[in-house]
Amino acid sequence: MLQLTKPLVLASNSPRRQQLLREAGFEFTVKVKDTNEDFPNTMPAIEVPAFLALKKAEAFKEELDNQIILTADTIVVVDNDILNKPKDAIEASLMLKKLSGRQHQVITGVCVMTKEGTQNFVDIANVFFRELTNQEIEYYIKTCKPFDKAGAYGVQDFIGMVGIPRMEGSYFTVMGLPVHRVYDALQPFFKI
């Protein structure tokens, strides 16, 4: 395990973020607070994930003490539209049809907060989907239930495996945590 000078708290219920952080060698606890995820309508899409990650971290501001709070937020953007988590199978299907045969961006915002300071940044990946058939979309929604995923898909799931021929940027950013950037942000806290 990578040793840090302060306890690391991952403020996310995402099993994918927890898996990535664990596999990267970090020891951490998970603590989540309900946070309002509204953002200004006029905010450019590229700023939204960092804004939301900071909002999630600020929920812990009064209890920072000797901890490192790590938060993240991921959005999918196509045609300047933000595709959030789908409400139901119909919305998931509409999202996947919109992504089918096209390029889109996945933007993950990260916040690392301690009582000494805050680092807030985004990482962007360009993802290319091939044309998806209605049967593939239906099968995916029925078997994987992607209702907790921005854009209604997980890159590590069936639809990502068969539908994404290429991407530019970090696979882990698309999964929801740009591990290479998180590692860099946590380096000042590594025990020597």
Question: Catalytic residue positions?
Answer: 73
* Contacts for 89 with CB less than 8 Å, ≥ 6 apart: 141, 142
Indicate the length of the chain as a whole number. 192
CA distance linking residue 103 with residue 166, whole number of Å: 10
Supply 12's token pair: 């996310």
Q: Which long-range contacts (CB under 8 A, 24 or more apart) does 88-97 make?
A: 88/147, 89/141, 89/142, 91/152, 92/141, 92/146, 92/147, 92/152, 93/137, 93/138, 93/141, 93/152, 95/151, 95/152, 95/153, 96/132, 96/137, 96/140, 96/141, 96/152, 96/153, 96/159, 97/132, 97/137
